[in-house]
Amino acid sequence: MVGLSVLFFFISLILYFFIGLQSVYFLELDVFSLTKFHVSAIFILDFFSVLFFFTVMIISSMIYFFSQYYMDQEKNLKVFISLLSLFVLSMVFLIFSPNLIFMLLGWDGLGVTSYLLVVYYSNYSSSVAGLLTFLVNRVGDVLFFSSICFFSLIMDWSIIDQKFYFWVIGLLMSMTFMTKSAQVPFSSWLPAAMSAPTPVSSLVHSSTLVTAGVYLMVRFSNLLVGQMKWLLIVSIFTICVSGILANLDWDLKKIIAFSTLSQLGFMVSSYSCFLVIFCFFHLITHALFKASLFMCSGVVIHTHDNSQEFRNVSSVGVFFPVIKSSILVCLLCLCGFPFTSGFFSKDLILDGGLVVILFFFFFLSGVLLTVFYSLRFSFFLLFNKIFVRNKNFVLSDSIYWILFPIFFLVFLALSMGNFWAENFIFLSSLIFVSSGWKLLYFLSLMLSGWLCITGLLNNFFFVLKKFFFSCMWFLMLIFSSRSFTWVFFNSLKYAKIMDQGWLEQLGPSGLVTMKFISMKMFGAFFSLFFPLLIFFFFVM
C-alpha cells in the first residue's frame, strides 16, 4: 500500500513538469491491429488534463497512506486496495482520453468501482446507498451513450440539422455531467454514499468522482454554450439545498458531503457564467482541502468507535490538537479566508460575477451559506462542552500514519493557490474591480458570521429544523428505499404484463404459434385439396 502511494506520488511529480507548457500533446498507442483494421488509444496531454491528473495522483497517494491507518483491521484489505486502484485507473482513462468511446470506458469504470466501494461494508444502509448510487450512474451512462449516438448522426451537409443535433448533444451531455457532479435533482446519492469507508469518501466523493462531471464540463465547454441558463438555475438550487442542510444535519460525514455539494454548485454556477478557467481553478483547490477535511473526520469517527456524531469533534479538539488545527485550516480555506487557496479561487469567481450583478449576488449567497456551516463546525470544535464516553473513545497506536498525508494536503491547500494563480491563471483572465465591491465582500462575510454565532447561541437552528429542509426538499423521499420498492414492484408487474405477456404473444411466441397454426391449416388444406384434385382429374 505504501509502495502504491509512493508510485502515484512520483508519477504526479513527473507529469507536473508538463503543466506550464502551452502546447498540446497527443499520444497514440496501437491497441489492436489485423490487416487493415486498426484500433488505437489516443491520450491528450494539455494544461487541464495534466493539472487535474496531478491533483488526483497526489490525493490518491495520500489516501493510500491514510488507509494504512484507517483500514488496518480489515480482513479484505487487498480487495479494498484493488478497488481503489481500479477507480484511479478509470479516472486516468476519463482524464486523458479525447475519444468518447474510451471516455465511456472510464466513465463506466468509475460507476462500477464507486458502487463496489460504497457497498464495501455489507450492511443494509450501504446496500441502499450503493443501489441509489448505481441507479443514478446508470442514468448518466444512458445519457452519455445517447450523446455518442447523436454524434454518429452528424454525417450530412445540412447545417440546420447539425445545429439541432449539437443542441441535443449539449443537452444530453450537460445532464450526463450533472449526474456525476450531483446537481439537483441527482443530489441525493452523494450524502447517501457517506456510508462508504472514509478513505473512499476522501478520494471518491470529494475530489475525483464528483469533480469528474465538472472537469468534463470544462472539456466540452464549446458544446454546452446553449445550456448555460438552465445550468445556472440548477446550480443555484443545489447551493441553496446543500447549504441549508449543512447547517441542519448532525452526521459528520454528511455535513462535509453537503459542503461538497455546495461547492459543486458554486463551480457549476461559475461555469454557467462562462468563467471556465476560474471554475477549473476552484475545482483543483477545493479537492485538496476537502480531501484533508474528510481524513480529519475519519480520525474523529475512528477514535469514537465508528460513531459519526457531529458533536464528537469537541473531544478531538482536546485530545488531538494537531487534527483540530488541520480542521480549522481546511474550514478557513472553505470560507475563502485571505491568502488560502480557497481565497484565490473564490475571489476570482466573485470578481467575474460582477459582469452581471444578479450573478454576483447568487455567488455571494453561496459564500455566505459556506461561512454559516463552517462557523457552526468551528463553534462545536472550539467552544462546545466536551462529551466523551470512555467505552467508545479509542486511541490507536497507528494514528501517526495520518499525520503526513494530512499535513501534506493542508500545506498544499495553503500554498498552491497563490502559486497556481500567479503562474497558470494568466493575467488576461484576471478581472480588476474597485475597492467598494471588495468591502462589500468583507461586510457580507462579517454579517454572515454574526448571524451564525447568534443563531448558535440562541438555539436558532433547532427551530429551523423542519421537515421540508431536513429531507432535502423531498429529494430524499423521492429516492428513498420505499420509492425503489414501489418502482421494482411495478416494474415486475409491467414486465409480466408486457415483456412476458402482450409483447411475448405478439412477438416471438406469437409468431411461432402463428407459424404452427398456418402450417397445420396449409397441411389440412393440401391433404383435402390434392385427393379432390386427383379425383376430378380421373373423372374428367
Q: What is the pLDDT of residues 94-147, one digit of tens each?
A: 888 888 888 888 888 888 888 888 888 877 878 888 888 888 888 888 888 888
Neighbours of 155 (CB within 10 A): 8
pLDDT for the residue numbered 391: 44
Least confident of 20-24, 165-169, 287-291, 446-450: 446-450
pLDDT bracket for residue 502 (50, 70, 90): low
529 & 381 share domain: no
195, 131 Cβ separation under 8 angstroms: no
Would you say residue 64 has pLDDT above 60?
yes
283 & 186 share domain: yes
In a domain, 32, yes or no: yes
Q: State the distance between the two ends of the chain, measured CA to CA, in whole angstroms.
A: 98
* Percent of the chain topping pLDDT 70: 65
Would you say residue 305 has pLDDT above 50?
yes
288, 368 Cβ separation under 8 angstroms: no
Cite the DSSP H helix spans in 340-480: 341-353, 357-382, 403-423, 435-457, 460-464, 467-470, 475-478
26, 46 Cβ separation under 8 angstroms: no
* Dihedral pair phi/psi, residue 275, rounded to 5°: -95, 65
333 & 461 share domain: yes
For residue 119, which amino acid is it? V
* Dihedral pair phi/psi, residue 180, rounded to 5°: -75, -40
Would you say residue 427 has pLDDT above 50?
no
Give residues with Cβ within 8 angstroms of 96, minimum separation 6: 43, 44, 45, 49, 53
97 & 142 share domain: yes
Would you say residue 25 has pLDDT above 60?
yes
Helix (H, G, I), strand (E, B) or coil at 486: helix
In a domain, 131, yes or no: yes
Percentages helix, strand, coil for the chain (3-state, rounded to 5) are: 75, 5, 20
Q: Stretch 490-499: mean pLDDT, rounded?
A: 66
In a domain, 478, yes or no: no
In a domain, 229, yes or no: yes
Would you say residue 156 has pLDDT above 60?
no
Q: Sign (positive/negative) of CA torsion 395, 384, 311, 62?
A: negative
Task: State the chain's mean pLDDT as an integer.
Answer: 75
pLDDT for the residue numbered 428: 46
In a domain, 485, yes or no: no
Give the structural domain span for 13.
2-473
Would you say residue 412 has pLDDT above 80?
yes
Q: Sign (positive/negative) of CA torsion 111, 116, 121, 127?
A: positive
pLDDT bracket for residue 383 (50, 70, 90): low
Distance CA 301, CA 199 (A): 12
Q: Which residue has the higher pLDDT, 465 or 149?
A: 149
Exposure letters 438-466 (e unless 16+ CB within 10 A, then b): eeebeebbeebbeebeebbeeeeeeeeee
283 & 223 share domain: yes
Distance CA 378, CA 373 (A): 9
322 & 465 share domain: yes
381, 324 Cβ separation under 8 angstroms: yes
150 & 214 share domain: yes
336 & 445 share domain: yes
Would you say residue 526 has pLDDT above 50?
yes
Q: Stretch 388-408: mean pLDDT, rounded?
A: 62
300, 396 Cβ separation under 8 angstroms: no
Longest CA–CA span in the chain (Å) reads 118
DSSP state of 2: H
In a domain, 266, yes or no: yes
Q: Is the previous residue joined to 185 through a cis bond, with omega within 30 degrees of 0?
A: yes
Give residues with Cβ within 8 angstroms of 25, minimum separation 6: 18, 44, 45, 46
Number of domains in the chain: 2
520 & 373 share domain: no
464 & 514 share domain: no
C-alpha cell of residue 232: 445556472
In a domain, 487, yes or no: no
Would you say residue 1 has pLDDT above 50?
yes
pLDDT bracket for residue 313 (50, 70, 90): low
Angle among Cα 270, 279, 417 to the nearest 5 degrees reads 130
Neighbours of 7 (CB within 10 A): 14
Helix (H, G, I), strand (E, B) or coil at 527: helix
Would you say residue 234 has pLDDT above 60?
yes
pLDDT bracket for residue 392 (50, 70, 90): very low
Distance CA 350, CA 431 (A): 10
In a domain, 423, yes or no: yes
169 & 110 share domain: yes
516 & 433 share domain: no
Closest to 451 (Cα-Cα) out of 362, 372, 336: 372
201, 294 Cβ separation under 8 angstroms: yes
Neighbours of 361 (CB within 10 A): 12
111, 138 Cβ separation under 8 angstroms: yes
pLDDT bracket for residue 390 (50, 70, 90): very low
Angle among Cα 80, 143, 242 to the nearest 5 degrees reads 65
Would you say residue 186 has pLDDT above 70?
yes
Distance CA 182, CA 192 (A): 12
Distance CA 176, CA 138 (A): 10
